[in-house]
Amino acid sequence: STIGFIFDLDGVIVDTAKYHYLAWKNLANELGFEFTHEQNELFKGVSRKRCLEILLEIGGIKATKEQFDTWMIEKNVDYLQYIDKMDASEILPDVPKVLDFLKAKNIPIALGSASKNAKPILEKVNLLSYFDAIVDGNNVAKAKPDPEVFLIAADKLGVSPSRCVVFEDAVAGIQAANTANMVSIGIGDSNVLSEAKYNFNNFTEIDSSFLNKLVAN
Ligand code: B16
Ligand code: MG
């Protein structure tokens, strides 16, 4: 195929950020400090390991390697309890509309996420079958803004990077897409995602004429 689409997961397909927040907050509270919604913004698109490092900096806690690993597992076990209750009602508005548009045109679709839980989440919300390739936290060594995750996705789709379109909600993700020489589309606040080539608050603002233009290019 000549063109391919890559979707980030958290903040683009589903709002799992609220569950990440609850799990990190539970851990912070257990360790004796608060973790706010504002602080949670720093965690978007960031790997689990880096999130825990930032959390411990916020709490002023020095952890042994053993404690660090234990808390990583503890947070994820807690997070998975929220994930387990997810269903298709949690898919963000009009995401299926865009996926269906692409499928109808036989355009390959990949996931490019930092999450190690991407596959079970896509299964839970019943979207896994749309994806021709899944590249997630289990497949990459370098986190966004490094372009690795999107370059592997392009490779798996058999599409050249400059022919890939990326939907992202995180600044680091937009930077990763731009560095990969892909067409970056910011989903969220255009002031925050100002480096994106195009910006939309959500998929309800993306119509078929815009998609047709992207695909025709
Ligand atoms: P996990 P994305 C990211 O997802 C989240 O935005 C970020 O908050 C999270 O820490 C990261 O996944 C790792 O997730 O703990 O499930 O491996 O936006 O890259 O889809
Ligand atoms: Mg995201």
Helix 17-30 and helix 48-59: axis angle, to 10°?
A: 40
Q: For the complex shown, is ipTM > 0.90?
A: yes
Which residue's CA is minimally distant from atom 16 of ligand 1? 115
User: pTM for the whole thing?
Assistant: 0.95
Ligand at minimal distance from the CA of 167 is: 2
pLDDT tens, residue by residue, 21-66: 999 999 999 999 999 999 998 899 999 999 999 999 999 999 999 9
pLDDT at 36: 97
CA 175 / ligand 2 centre spacing (Å) = 12
Active site residue 8: yes
The answer to whether 156 and 5 are in contact (CB under 8 A) is: no
- The pLDDT-based confidence of 1 (bands split at 50, 70, 90) is low
Which position has the token pair 């789709």?
A: 157
Give the nearest ligand 1 atom to 8 CA: 20
Contact status, residue 131 vs residue 111, Cβ threshold 8 Å: yes
Residues with C-beta less than 6 Å from any ligand 1 atom: 8-11, 20, 43-48, 51, 76, 113-117, 137, 170
